[in-house]
Structure 1
């Protein structure tokens, strides 16, 4: 059996426990691979944590966004009777459409 991967941040036992909680059945090789990948990710996160970012303003986008709003102005609409006159079928002053598949009319 291969030697368990050791990392100061995560162990094979930690990964096995999380896999068991997630109801994942991992072979020993898969467990070693997952442990190595997670250890590498945690090392990368530790590198990011060491960066001096006190003078960097937090942001959600790399460029400024601005919503474009227009005034809400009421405009003339189509005449209901004219629109319904062009409809294939009308019922109770509305468009009549086929029922949903499986429902009886």
Structure 2
């Protein structure tokens, strides 16, 4: 199951959080002002995400697995959260997931 943490709390507890992500494979959703902004996931999950994205060229091939992983993340409007990594193109992928 994932955890939700504010960026200020993450700054204070970064080493502990990173160890939990790496050793226990616990993903974290990072929030700023109670709004999901990004996620910290184990590198193995990220490598799998990249493989799905590469397979489809635009990232649509990974929509179903990402939807399952994000299904439990609450969002302010009652929908699925759309964490994004600024400048990486991943935000566009989450936008695609939101529209489906």
* TM norm. shorter chain > 0.5: no
Q: Greater strand percent: which structure?
A: 2
So what's the TM-score if we normalise by structure 2?
Answer: 0.22
Q: Greater helix percent: which structure?
A: 2
The structure whose Rg is larger is 1
Higher relative contact order (CA 8 A, sep 6+): 2
